[in-house]
Structure 1
Amino acid sequence: MADGGWIKVYRKIRQSFVWTDANQLKLWLLILMKASHDGNRFLFNGQQVDVSSGQFVTGRDAIASEFNAGAKPVQRVSGRQLWRWIKLFEKEQMLSIKSNTKYSVITVISWGEYQEDDQRLSITSPSSVHQVSTIKNAKNAKNANKRDSQHPRKREYADDSPELIEATYLWEKIKSNNPEHRKPNLQAWADDIRKMHEIDKRPFDKIHRMIDWCQSDTFWQTNILSVAKLREKYDTMKAQANRSYISRRAPARKEAVPEWMQEGYHPPKQEVSAEDKAELAEKLKKLEQLRSRNATSS
């Protein structure tokens, strides 16, 4: 789901049980907004997942984070409660859930009926109305093409695209280090993630791990405050991270202990020659005479 996209909501939703509960209604709308319009591939917790039309990948913590974004503490709903409601939606055959140990794939049942094209409705219109509508649409298309040629359209990334997921992940890490940091343009950040992946040939899982590393490092967490800076300093941080990894794996260097410090050491016995003994006795005699003179003078 892109920020500028749209979904259909049928009026008969007012007859559903979700209409009577504001939070359940909000959750159902969030599910419809997250469902992929076409098939897509994106990254979830460092793992690439393929989904079909009407599907999206999530988990209890992920859905709670999106549901409670911007809500006051008293308005937040726990992930456990949200998942109970999702299971209720499954029981009412509104969706299906396929889970493993890492994530769940949610499929909106009858997605095509929710989001089918409006063209089928226009076929039943009177020919005169259809002709006027066709002329008007052609004119609008021409004007739109003219505007697009003058202002190239920026890429728009869906919420479940790997580019926007990684951009949002970096923002959440930065915000956890500094809750007062201003929210960035996540679409622009997602485009920089795309450049890292397509131009710099960085796999998404390695980008994800580099975000973790730089935002846990006391120096880099104050310097990497955008995807552009992450891209610029990626090689420098990679080299530093590799050095840290190698130093942790290298065995500790052991200093050699001198022989005389080892337990049970006994100095070797040395034989003293007669000449050395005589010389030592002469020195002791002179030292004793010097001591006696000092004692007399005092």
Structure 2
Amino acid sequence: MNTAEILNFPDRQDQFRSNRMENQKTGYIPLYRSIKKKLWAKDVYLRALWDNLLLDAARQPYTAVFKGNSWKLQPGQLVVTSDDLGLALCDRKGIPTGRHAVERMLAFFVKEKMILVQTVHRKGTLITILNYAEYAEKIGNLPEHNTAHISEHNKPSDDAASEGDAAHNGEHNTAHHEQEGNNKNKKISSSENSDEFPNDVTEKFLSRHPDAIGGIYTPAGKLWGTADDLKTAKFIFGRVLIINSTVKDPNWPDWANEVRLMREIDGRTLSEICSLYDWASRHYFWKSNILSPDKLRKQWNTLTIQKSQQPNPPQARPAKAELDWYNRDWADSLPPGTL
């Protein structure tokens, strides 16, 4: 009696072909070997983040929805959050990269003039890859691609009989020429562009105010502040939370803008701004009336005068205890025979 069992092992060549085709279906962008000459590329996290930005950036202009808001993306742009980017950068144990680490890496790319970063409070971060056309140039226009493409397509295909030319053409177009945003962006009709962010306006603003890069600003630059202005605004908000822990996050571009105006227009230093608000936040009256940079700026002179007169802010007086006329504890300390 034959008890032999036939085991079917998967064809490794078919497995590799399947993986390759799945990779092709998601699209790709050119990655030049010259990147290995960059010192920063030796940092595996910087390198992986840069690759992800290139792969997730929009290939064509389109409008996307992210966190319930409409974004009109141009080629080379993507809208994400630092947390989302960190989830795609994990160590061997699967632990994602923290938000602050991601923001430091983005700041490095900004410093290297590789990207522009625009953070819109509670809506997302718009990242623009500078000179994206050089990375997203259509490979079909290059002689090297034509040669490789023709030679590859002259080979017999195992799937040719079942898929045919029509299927191949559709697959080719998808793999080579479509790569629109990250997996959280969804296309919507152009009639829904209620919250558009024209890239040309932002770039003009940043060219006039390069110190806004790394800070925070609205798309047209109406409200903006440097990284230090934003840091000072967050210091003020931290003191506000001590006074009222339930207060909601402020409009950060507005707060940073007020700090910037105090610096540029009023001639205050960031140290003076923090010092005066620290005093006001401990004052029994002002701590509940000065809860924003705007209010601090309006009351600056009054606060400065009071601070000079009272270096230590008076605290709220404790409530007086009700007098007990029948309590004779005070008499215990008197010498015997006094009463």
Interval containing the TM-score (normalised by the shorter chain):
0.3 to 0.5
Bigger CA radius of gyration: 1
- The TM-score normalised by the length of structure 2 is 0.38
- The TM-score normalised by the length of structure 1 is 0.43
Structure with a larger share of its residues in helix? 1
